[in-house]
Each structure stands twice: as C-alpha cells, then as structure tokens.
A and B are shown apart, each in its own frame.
Chain A
Amino acid sequence: MKTKEYWNPYVAGVILGLVLLAAFLVAGNGLGATALPKRTLALATSQVAPEWTAQNTVLKSYVADGASPLRNWLVVEVMGVILGGFLGALSAGRLATKVEKGPNISVRGRLTYAMAGGVIMGFAASLARGCTSGQALSGGAGLGTGSWVFMLMVFGGGYAVAHLVRRQWT
C-alpha cells in the first residue's frame, strides 16, 4: 500500500481545533495525554500502599472519591487516542516497526535520548500539571494565563537545547 501524504498543516490544525472544541462542549474540559500514565500509577500505588497514596501531594486527589482512578474522562480519551492513532497509521500505510532517527546516530543512541527525554517530560508534565495537550493546547484555547506561560516556555526549552542534540536528527 502506498503511504498517504500528511495532511496540510492548516487543515489538520482546523480539524484538531474542532476536536478540541468538541471536547470542551461535550465534556467541559479540553484534551490530555498524561492522565493515563498518572492515573495508572495512582491505581498501582493505591493497591500497594493506600495510605501513602492518600497522603501524596500529586496522587491524593485521584483517589479522594474512592472510585477507581482510571474512571475518568481523560483516561478514556487517551484510550481513544490509542485507537485513533493506530487506525490513522494503519489506514495511511504508516504502520511500521522501526526507529525514527537521523542518519548520523545509532539506534541505541537514539533510544537513549528518547528514554531520557521521556523521563524529563514525565517529570515536567507532573510539575506543570499537564503536558503539551492538557496545558498548551487546551489551556491555550481556554486563554489560561499559566497555560500560555507554559507553552512559551516549551518552545523556549526546545530551542535552547536543540543545537546540543542536533546529531540525533540531522
């Protein structure tokens, strides 16, 4: 199957904006991504150490109401992202087991960077109470002041170190 071209960025942006608007209209909040891993962690720790979980600054709100931490709109929404991303890649002929990297870095080097970046992002998204989806995209559309600060800082952080890690991509 021939691989489909990516959508025009402005068309993709309009459609993404409408999806985001639909989330607000239907559910009263925007989109997110880190809710799934965060709440999975809350579920795990609440099984192992319920008292510690109930005291933890981050996790306590997820277990406060007694229901499963995974019983949450954003968690279901991320499950939808898994399905949508999979079918999107499948129908575009882009489903492939491979590593995306530039020509001048080993697979091992690339995956080391991916792991390190992931850990930093997980830490950062917890600290900021949201990631590029929950803070920048959703909070940005809602005109949240802190979300705009977050968004500008994301670009700032990316451009600040881009030169140092360029070997990965070029």
Chain B
Amino acid sequence: MTSALFPLEFASDDFRLLTGLFIGFGFGFVLERAGFGNARKLAAQFYLNDMTVFKVMFTAILVAMVGLYGLASLGFVDMAMMWVNPTFIPAQAVGGFLLGVGFIMSGLCPGTSVVSMVSGRIDGWVTFVGIFLGIALFTFTVDWVPGLQALYLAGSGEVSLLHEVFGIPALVLALIMVAGAVLAFVGAEKVEAVFQAKTKPVELTPPNRPRLKLAMGGSLAALAIVTLTAGSPGPSTGPVAMTSMAPLVLAEKLIEREPGILILDLRSDPDSERGIPGAVRLGDSEARAEYLRRTPEGTLVVTFDESGRFTEGPAGWPEGLDYRFLAGGWDGWAEDVLTPASAWGNSLAERDRVQRQNQISAFFSGAAVQNFSVAAPPPMMPAGGSGKKPKAGGC
C-alpha cells in the first residue's frame, strides 16, 4: 500500500457508509443556507440578476480542487485511489445541455430539488418526482431506442484529467483557474449590478462584500502557490526532483506500448524474482547515472524500489529527463496492478473501472510477462522504447 493518508481505509463497510450521512448532512445544510432550496434564486442565475449559483459553485470547486491536488502534491492524498468521473464526451455534452434546459424549467437541479423538497416547497417535490420519472424513462428506453445506447457508451470512458490534456501540473491549472475565477467573480458582481437595476433580485440576498471576496480569492491563490512550491519540482541543482506516478497509470502506459519510457528497478534485493516488465536493473548508482546520461532527452524515467521510499533522484542524475517514482514502489505495483479489483462501486463507471483493473492485473500477472531483463551493460534505449514493453499481448 502507498504511504498516502487519504482516502481513508475503513475497517468496516458499515462505518464507511455512515460517514456518508454526516458528509451529506453538511452538503444539504450548506445548500440550504446558500439559498439553493429556492428555485427562484437558482433560476436567477440564468437571468443574470443573481449569480449566486456561479459564485458558490466555482468557489466550492476551486477550494476542493486546490485542497485535493495540494494534498496530493504533498503526498497526503493518493490520487490513484480517488474516483474521478470517467470521460464520455458525447453523452456528457448532450446530457449537460439537456440538464441545463431542465434546470431552468424546474429552477432546480437534482441535488437542490432534494433541499427544496425537504424545505416544504411543492415545486421541489414535483421536480424530484419528475427526476425519478426521467431516470426511469432513460433506463427503460436506453436499450431499444435506436442510437441512445450508442450515445451513452460513446467515448473513451477513461479517466481523462484536464491538466493532463493541457500538459501542465494540476496545481498550475488550479492556480490559473483561481485567477480566472477571481476575475469572473468581479465580472459577475458587475453584471449583477446592471441586471438588478432591471429586475429585483430574490429577497434575503446578503449585501455585497467585495473585500471578503478579495480575501477569499487571495487566500485560495496563496494556498495554491504554497502547495505548488512545496510539492512540485523546483530548479534542480542538487538532487533531481521527482513526482509520483500511480502504478495503474504506468500499467496503462505499458499496455498501450507508449514510447519513450524507461523503468528503473532500484530494489536492493537482486534475487527478486518478479518485476515490472521491461524494467532495467543496474548494479550501482554510478552505472545508473551513466545509463541515464545516455538516455534520450525527454524520456519518462519511472523508478521503483520496494515500497516507495525512493522519491528523490540523486545529485548525479542528468536533467532533461522526466523523472517519476512509482507510488508505493514494488508493493504499490503488486497491490494496485497485480491484484484484481475487489468489486465495490457506485456506478456503471466504477464497474467499468473494476473490469479494467481485472484486465490489467490479468495482463501483468500472466507468466509471459514475468521474465524481465537485467541489463548490464545496458543497450542504448531508443526513444521508441522498444524492449520496454510487455512481451505478451493482452487486453
């Protein structure tokens, strides 16, 4: 297991379930106090005289984002264990648009309809019943309306992360978003002021407090910068900086036969029988540094030891390579990749992930990929990365 503290592992499933009650309570309470049990206040977002929805939502997203990726960069959170929605672009785009249409008709979204309902609002009850019927409508029609199932399943279904799409660290993206949000909030206040002159906002909206807003934006940005400098590579004069790579991410890269990857086996026990397919094992640190100097620039170098203690490259390693350490080391690989998934899940997507996990573990547990090379002296590794691939075709 990796050394990250979060997400928490629970001794009992019942206790884990119980935490949902408390966190849900907080969710419902905050939604109510933000005014989200009131359909008129939510609908006002779309008439621009009350942008509370935008403000609350983006502040929340950014706080959680900076918190999550900040803690991850400090090593407290194992992002590989976090469930992030997989990407099915067509279904998400069409579904999102339709949900927006339904949102402005009801004045509520599914979560807020629950809050509206328990606040006694009849429109909340009717919306919630409508949502149930809509879910039933989709469920009963998905398998026989032409094209609906295809739309539902179209897309990669992989967990695609926005910062990886842009090729920048998550916290840099979060920082850009914080900066953008602060500007957008200032703009939202201006837009509100213009449209409130035409239409009166929903009552009980608290007075505008620009200083508070600036303090919030400032502290969020400061937090992002602090974690960013604490957790990401700085200019390296001494030891080369490394970031972690989740075992499953590496496994996927190997299965995809992604070029330009060098895996360095740093385990001290030379008699280890099992390893990561294609990993290179060298005698001593001098040989490693020499080997790395001959490795093409830009190569992704993934190192692993027994348990993920090795998180910093020694001083002699050349710059220009993309160094990563395998989160959890060999133990992490054994646990995340070689072990089939235990089936617990919230959704179809989770089911898909479990299925994928099982494919991966079967692939790497197969005898065909268990023999790995011990390179001494190592051959020059071409950028194409041949020889770093699993030998068996799987999946």
> Cα distance A143–B171 when bound, in Å?
10
> Cα distance A130–B33 when bound, in Å?
23
- Chain B contacts of A58 at CB under 8 A? 138-139, 142, 152, 348
**B77 contacts A124, C-beta separation under 8 Å:** no
**Nearest chain-B residue to A71 (Cβ)?**
B17
**1/0 per residue B33-61: CB within 8 Å of A?**
11101111101111100011001111111
Partner of B99, one of A27, A94, A132: A132
**1/0 per residue B126-152: CB within 8 Å of A?**
111111111111110011000001011
Chain B nearest CB, measured from A114 CB (Å): 4
> Cα distance A158–B105 when bound, in Å?
9
> Cα distance A153–B81 when bound, in Å?
28
> Cα distance A84–B81 when bound, in Å?
28
- Chain A contacts of B134 at CB under 8 A? 118-126
> Cα distance A24–B143 when bound, in Å?
33
> Cα distance A150–B87 when bound, in Å?
10
Tell whether A138 is near chain B: CB-to-CB under 8 Å. Answer: yes
**B135 contacts A125, C-beta separation under 8 Å:** yes
Given A5-B204, A122-B137: A80 and B22 interface contact (C-beta under 8 Å): yes
> Cα distance A9–B45 when bound, in Å?
13
> Cα distance A124–B138 when bound, in Å?
8
- Chain B contacts of A160 at CB under 8 A? 97, 100-101
> Cα distance A101–B110 when bound, in Å?
18
> Cα distance A159–B111 when bound, in Å?
20
> Cα distance A46–B237 when bound, in Å?
62
Chain B nearest CB, measured from A14 CB (Å): 5
**1/0 per residue A94-106: CB within 8 Å of B?**
1111111110000
Within 8 A of B (CB), among A60-84: 60-61, 64-65, 71-84
Chain A nearest CB, measured from B84 CB (Å): 4
**A85 contacts B104, C-beta separation under 8 Å:** no
- Chain A contacts of B213 at CB under 8 A? 10
Given A73-B20, A81-B28: A6 and B92 interface contact (C-beta under 8 Å): no
**1/0 per residue B6-32: CB within 8 Å of A?**
111000000011111111111111111
Tell whether B113 is near chain A: CB-to-CB under 8 Å. Answer: yes
Tell whether B191 is near chain A: CB-to-CB under 8 Å. Answer: no
**Nearest chain-B residue to A132 (Cβ)?**
B109
Chain B nearest CB, measured from A30 CB (Å): 8
| Closest CB pairs A-B (n = 5) | A118-B130, A122-B134, A80-B24, A157-B100, A13-B59
What would 19 more interface pairs be, CB under 8 Å, given A31-B24, A84-B32?
A: A17-B62, A27-B7, A33-B113, A57-B143, A58-B152, A77-B27, A83-B28, A116-B106, A118-B113, A120-B101, A122-B133, A122-B135, A127-B98, A136-B57, A142-B65, A146-B89, A147-B84, A153-B92, A156-B96
Question: What would be 7 A-B contacts, judged by CB atoms less than 8 Å apart?
Answer: A73-B17, A82-B28, A92-B32, A116-B130, A127-B91, A150-B92, A153-B94
Using a CB–CB distance below 8 Å, which chain B residues touch chain A?
6-8, 16-35, 37-41, 43-47, 51-52, 55-65, 67-69, 71, 77, 81-89, 91-123, 126-139, 142-143, 149, 151-153, 155, 159-163, 165, 170, 173-174, 185, 199, 204-206, 209, 212-213, 216, 343-351
